Every structure is written in structure tokens, then in C-alpha cells.
Structure 1
Amino acid sequence: MEIVTHKNITGYQQTAVAYTRLSVEEAKEGESSSITNQKNIISRYCDDNNIKLLNIFADDGYSGSNFNRPDFKKMIEYLKQVKVDMVITKDLSRLGRDMTESSHYAEIVFPEMNIHYIAISDGFDSQKVNVMAPFQFAMNDVYLRETSRKINQVIQNKRLNGEYCACPAFGYMKENGKTNHLVPNPDTAPTVKYIFKLACEGLSAFAIATRLTDEGYTTPLMYRVQTGNFTEKGAARAVENWNHTTVKRILQNEVYLGHTILGKQKKASLKSKKKISVPKEDWYITRDTHQPLITPEEFETAKINIGKNTKKYTGYDKCRQSIFNGITFCMNCGSAMCSCGSVYNGEREKYWYLGCISNRKRATTRCTHAARIKYTDLLTIIKNELNYFISLSDKEIESIVNSAIKKSNSNQVYEDTGQSKANLTKRINDIDRIIAKLYNDNISGLIDDERLASMVSDLTKESNAIKARLSYEEDTLANNEVKDAYKKFFNIVKQYNHIEDLDEKTVRMFIERIDIGEKILPDGYQVASHHIPTKQQIKITYRFIGCLDDDGQCFNENNDEIKDDELKKVV
């Protein structure tokens, strides 16, 4: 390619500034692309062409995908303040690899500033007609996209292998400071454990943040500033006070369970710096890749306790507080139930869970079959149910799990788990169409009976094999999911020997939701009283395993479960 020369016939010495740039990836190409080599080429060019080099600007370690580079910005400001005739780069790619922006500076910005721009190796001269310029800019853009593709491919492979190719989460550090394996950070891991401990005790995110600030714990950003290289602008954002949002982010991060979770965000486009959120189903999650800081039970308990302090639990300001607040609902209309009534001299017999929210006087709609139950009755029922689980032997637990698996295999509707299953299902449909066509061809005389029988037999065997594979994979997947769910639930159960006094923490440890049905009175009665035996349906949805009886259980006035098929059909 032609090398630009710029002989000064009049002997007038022109002035110039040099701009050099090198990305991290380009640095691997060797000395030919180095900043030093670029400076040497430009200096030699200036000496040969009687040009005075006033200044050299260098962005070492910056991508050419955008122009948000510190020394490039300094150069533009310099050009506005100092009279300069020329801007010189080794080639067009040093100016930038973004086709639109590079062309804008080379062919519009610099000429409008009355500055002569030269790219030595590419033979580009802004004062000449550059016929090949569009192709040169385009090729640099192609290089940018190809490099980005290769980098993304490497990162994706690391993600699939469970390597942590991101900044370590607060509480962890990379082993030996270089590898992609996380290990607990002795400086910050105790803080993370303390946060989960406080959350398990029922403290809100605000309360935890306040305590951490009062007790002098270092915030994540402040710790990074103290231990890493931060610009003044970045360090200025670090504060000593903890924020409740930071606490919530830590409590919701499954990395503390020992899992590698990557790909939560991505760039909006190749040339954009903006990050956008990625749906959870598209995250890269690899289980059990490093040492956990907390147990699954602690994570779930903290999650529940933090959740109960949100508006969905506190929106009913007139509800009396109880250990069932926020998880008890009317079975008829689905509205949240509120606790009300009175307590006299410590007597809780007159303390009721009365009706549902939609049955209040101010409600625009009313539930015509609102449920109510005595607070003490609900306490007794739930406590008996939980103690039943605690009393189960390993053999009885195994029997319950096997029954759940059998029920799952007979009733569950499976979702498509991937493209492989879709392809297999499509192949079965294709085989059916092929067999139908073969019979038509046989009738038309295109194939004989022997050939028809052979082909149909082979296709039928293939179809049956695919169906067997799909059935096996679905059953295996469902069985593993059921086993994992029951394992999580009974791991919680095994933490207890017997529940004597039921409290809110225990209730939320086991139960997600309680649906209360209306009281069923004997024939001839319309109003319930202490002297009239009643029956009531209660549906308990347990954590991980859901409701063991889809229709719930019925209890009488003595809190004994009723095995009544007719009553089971109420819901």
C-alpha cells in the first residue's frame, strides 16, 4: 500500500500531534502493534517530512470499539486550545475500529477543525480523495466484531465449565488471585455470614444495614476501593454507610450457596456500554463449584424473613399481628385473612382469625362464604401436623417420597426441556407421515408388499425407541425433581426433635401458605357456637413439596382430621 509523504516545498515547518492506541487483545500480537512501535513509526514519518511533533497521546489497554478513552479526550481538548496542523496515527485502526465513529472523526471532525489527518500505513490522507476509505473503515469494524465473537466464545466456554470469569462476589476472592475458582475471603466472608444470621433472626434489610453501619462493617464498594485500583471518580462513590439495597442483593445471591451464577446482564449491543438484565432462565448456573458460606436452609429462611417485610405482607395496617400473618388466606375468595378479636387477661381463647380482607365493611366486594377459625385451633392443627412430620421414621419418609413420585408420574404434565426433546417429538410425527405415504405408494404400485413391510417395521422400531427414550427421560427428570424437593423439606424437619411452642420462625420455615375453608355446620344450624360440632377444611402448602392433599384436610371441633370423601369435594 502507498505510504503517504508530506514534503513541505516552501520549507514551512508544520506541527502535528500523534495518537497511539493498543487494546489488551491486540497487545498479544507482539511488538509490531505496541505503543512504542507506533510512536517510532510516527516520529520517523515526522522527521522525514519536516513536521514538528508537539505531543504524543497514548491509550494503552483501551478497545477501539468506542471513543470513550482518556487520552483521546485529552487530545481533542488539546486541539481546541493549541494551533496544530496535523493528527497522525500509525493506521486507521489506531484511531478506532468503529466504522461510523472513525469515519466521522477522520472525514468530518478533523477537517472542520482545519486539521489534516493522516494514517501512515493505510495511506489515508484527509486532504485527498480516499476511494478505498469506506472499505478500510469497514474492515476495521469487521475485525472488531470478529474479536468480540472470539472473546464471547471463550467466556461462554468458561461459563459452561463453571469458571467464575467475573469480579468475585463480596465474601469471596479468586484463589491465588489469578484462577477462576472462588474461595472464601477471610476479610469479608464473616460479614456475609453475619448478614444472613441477622436475616434469619427476622431483621429487615433496613435494620441489618443500620446495624452493620453502627458496628463499623466495611461496605463492599469501600472494601474494593481499599484493596484494588480505582479511579478517583469510582472511589468517590464508595461510602461507609450500608444501604438496604446492598443487603438485599447479598441475601438474594445464590453464589453464597456454592453455585457459580453468570450472565445476569449483557451489553445492549456490541458497541454499547449499557447493560441490560437477562431473564433468569438464560443465566449460566453451575452447581457446587466452590465452598458455600451458608446452608440452603439459612438462605431460604433469610429469603422468607426479608420477604415478609415487604408491602405485600404489611399492606393491611389494621390487621393484628400473629405468627400466621401474611400466609393465611380464605379458601373461597383467595383474599388474605386478618387476625382480630380481643385478648383479656392473657386469655387467647377470644382471639380469632376472623374472615378475609374482602369481608371488611369498607371493602367494595364481599366474600359471601368467608372463613374464620380460632387462633388457638389453628395453632394446635399446625403444631400437630409439623410434629407428625418430625415423628416419621426414615422408612416412612421413603414411603411418602415413593408415593409422591408415583403420583407425579401419573399426573404431571411435563414441559419441553430443550431442543433435543422437540426434535425427537418431531421425528415421531415425521415417521407417522412417512408410514402413511408408504402405504399410499404401495396401493399405487410404487413399492411392493415385501419392501413396504420391511420399511414400516424399521420405522416402527425407531418410533418406539424414541418414545421409550422420551418416557424414560421425563420420568427420570420428574423423579429427581420430586426427590430433591422432599430432601430439602425433610432436611428442615430433621433440625427439630419436637415442637412444643409454635413461633413465627418455625411456621415460615415449613409453610408457604394456609387456606382456610368455611365452617360446615350440621343440618338445621345456620350459626356456629361452642356447643355445636363443626367441620372445617384447611389446605396447607408446605415449602418445596406443596400440598400433600390437593383438596386439603378437614378437621372437626376437636382438631381431629376427618376422612370424609364427601367433604373433600367441597373445594
Structure 2
Amino acid sequence: MARTSKRKRRLESQELFEKKTEKAYVAGVYARLSVDHQDGDEVSIETQIEMGKTFIETHKDILLYDCYSDLGATGTNFWRSDFERLMQDVREEKINCVIVKDFSRFGRNYIEVGNFVEKMFPFMGVRFISITDQYDSAKQGDCNEALSMHLKNIANELYARDVAEKVKASKQTKRKQGEYLGSVPPYGFRIEKMDGRRTLVRESLTSEIVREIFVRYDSGENVVSIVKWLYEQKIHCPGDYKAYKTVYQQEGQKLRQWRREAIRYLLSNVVYIGNLAQSGKHIREPIIAEHVHEPLVPEEVFCRVGERLEGNRKIQKSRSLRNNTMEEVFRDILYCGECGHKFSRTVTEREFSNNKKRTFVSYGCPNRKRIDEDKCKNESITVLQLQKVILHLLKKEFLLSDIQMKKLTDFNREVGEIRKGQIEKTQKELQKSVENIDRKISFCYMEYRSGSTSQTQFLEIKKKLEEKKEQNQRLLRELSLKYASVDRLVDKQNQALCTVLKCQGGAVLNAELVQNLIGKIYVYPGKRIEVLWKWKDIWME
């Protein structure tokens, strides 16, 4: 057998050592698709990711860890959800290689891209690869390669700014020319192309309906009265009008009543007074802020209607504040047994002859107020009637099911532990949000220092972010107090449960106890009640 020369054995040993010590990279493929759909160079997210995977398959020293993608995200800043996830994995050392299709997919701000590629990634030991730009930070490049990278990043940022300015200028020009930029015309109008522009034109039948609605409300009628009038005239609501393509009900068509919210929105929509650029009124929809078209309603009528609507909103707001001061024991668990709709709560106050006020709370199906085919015949039920029936059923279930008191109290404690776990999860999410806000402020500061944003813009953004951060920190403090009080509340609920089940005097149901024990309550006509218990299936197994 021929002997191997010492020189050959030394070379083979050296090659094996180099293979063993060759660094293996764990990569994340990042893809981004801009909000600018007019960019012809932007390929799909899937194509970008596939390019990254193909590149990894041809490089044995790189392993794929995960793919990250931001759809509809601008490249002018780095406030992107999956980009933040990518950087989080980099900081946690899960990946040490970032692969993109080209520099523009990573970002279009050349200063920030340069900071990442030349400073942050090398400092963190991260390899950066741009496939179509043929850039690989692991390969020692000359000064010409670095210059080429900077020029491409500058071109990318200038392109993004240029496109954004062109799109903005194009929209502003179209608005000034009276062109409608929305996809669906408001009720009472149709879209017609005039001189190459999409223009709002009065639609004969629906425009007369709009005018009549304004006249009726301006003359003193309320929204409910207008809803009844529309139903009596067999006028389709806007959604059904678009579906059936007919204003009035035809044979075989279902007639549904107008929603009161739709009436209020119509009465507050400034599009009906025509030239909005000259009206000086609050614009609710910026995309139609400068349309010039035939007005359907005189401006003085619109102003009077707006004042009346604002007054009604203040009344409703004061009522809701009064309602919120009372504990809602059966929140989100009370349903109609006839139509399955969730019951709504009504709070009323009555003043008696001795000048004392008393509050009455009742629940009822919202569909009982309807006037169309969906009207529900179920009646309302007071909170006192509900309390009485639920207490009776609870005692009955406890006696018939042979459940020990300890099992119910233990179950209550388990629910408390679950609630503590939910609080902890929310706390972690809020804490992560606070950290993200700090990073966003840092990015914003870097953009300000680089001249990308003005001092005024930076201070405005910083103020908003700090307000959001303060809000999250306040919620964190509230959650800490809530977490600390869970055990105390569980003990209080168990005492209330013992009072109820032992038939002691003064037993009442509170919101926590009801939410822990009851899944759903169905109320049928005749005040017949069906209760679905949360704990029943657990101990019946």
C-alpha cells in the first residue's frame, strides 16, 4: 500500500479543520411590499421570500430560521411590525444573518439603512445579504462596493420621496378639480365621468329622499319617526338599495327598516351641501373635502340640523354617564330566547310625590322596537325579577346536583387564578408596547438629527408617543392593583356564594359571582328563563 506524503496529510488536515471551524449562519429572510402599488420594481411578498430561500439552498453555511414580511408598509421608516419581530430575534441571538431581495426592501431611508448595515449589524455580529445588489457583509469589499451601496440607498430614498410627493400632489389636484376619490358614492348621488373626471351627480329618486329626511328632521321630527316614515313608504335602506338596485321595495324583495345610526350619519354628512371647500364646516371625510357638485340641502338647513344633532348627543352622553355609575350584573350573558339577540339594558329614573328619585333597571331585546319582519315579540324583564329567578335556580341546582360547597369555592379560586394569568399576559403586552414606544422615539430622534424630519414634527410625534406611553404605564399600575386584589375578591365572592346557597337572608348576586358561575342566560316570552351554568359540566363528568 502506497504511503501518503506528510505534505499531503498536512493539507488534508488543514482543509478538514477549516471545514469544522467554518461559521454557520442562522438566517431570517425579510420581505416588504410598499403601500405604493405603482412601483413597478416591487415584486410580491411570496416572490421575495422564495428568492431568499433559494439563496439559502445554494449556500450550505446558512440555515433558515424564519421568514418576516410587512405587507403595505412604507420603507421610509422602520416602524413595522414584522421588522420589529426580526430585530427582537436578532437581539435574542436567535438569528445572526439577515437576507433581503434588495436594499429598498429593507428600507428607503439611506441614513438609517447605512446605520444598520455598517454599524448596528457588524456590532451585533450579524451578516447582512442583499441578493440582487450582490452585497454580502461577510465578504471584504473595497471602497467602490461601499460607495455603490450608499448610492443605491440614496436613490431608493429619493425615489420614495418623489413618488409620495407625486401621489399627494395628484390627489390634491383631483380634489381641487372636484373629482370624487371615494369608491362608493354617498346615498343620493351617483358617480359619472365628466371631462375625464369622476364627479358626483345628483340621483333623481334618492336625492329627493335625502331632502325629505332633512326637511322632516329640521321641522321637529325625531329619528324614530323618520325611520317609520321610510318603512311605510317601502324605501330600501342604503345597503339593500345597493344590493337590489331599486329604491322602493319590489315583489320578492325583503324590506328592512333603516338603522337610526344610518339616519344620523346621513344628517351629519357635509357632502349634501355641495361646495365643501367654501362651506367652512367640519369635514368628516377628507377624501371628499373639496368636491364641487350640486347641493341637495341648503346650508342654513344643514346648520340647524347639525345643532340639533349635537344637542341630542350631549343628552345621550349624560344619560350614558348616569347608566355607567350602576353595576351591570348581567353584562354580556343575557340573550333573547326568541331571536338570539343580546339583551340591552335600560335605566330609567322616576320622581315620586315626596321628591325622592328611584332608579329602575330592565333588560329587553333590541329587536322588539323594530317595525319590520325582524320584530321580536319578546317582552322586557326587570333586574329584580332576574335576581329572584336566578337565585331560585342556583339553589335548586345546588341541591339537586349534590355538589359540595368546597367544590364550588375551589372552582371559584381556579377562576381567580385564570384571571390572574390573564392580567399577567396583558401586563407583558403593555410592557412590550412601552418598550416599542421607546424604540420609536429613538428612531424619530435619529431622523430628526439626520434632517429627515423637522424639530416641530419630531416634538409632535414625541409628544404623542409619550402620551401613549404614559397611558400604558397608567394601565400597568391599574393592572397591578387589580392583580393584588384578585384573591380578596375571590374570598368575597365565596362568602356571597355561601350566603346564597345556604338560603341566608339578604342574599344578592353581584357581577363577579354571576360571571364566574353562569355562561349564558336565555329569556323567553312569559319571562321563562334558561340558564347555562359554567360549573355544571365540570362536576357532572
TM over 0.5: no
Bin the TM-score by the shorter chain. 0.3 to 0.5
Q: Which protein has the bigger helix share?
A: 2
TM-score by length of 1: 0.35
TM-score by length of 2: 0.37
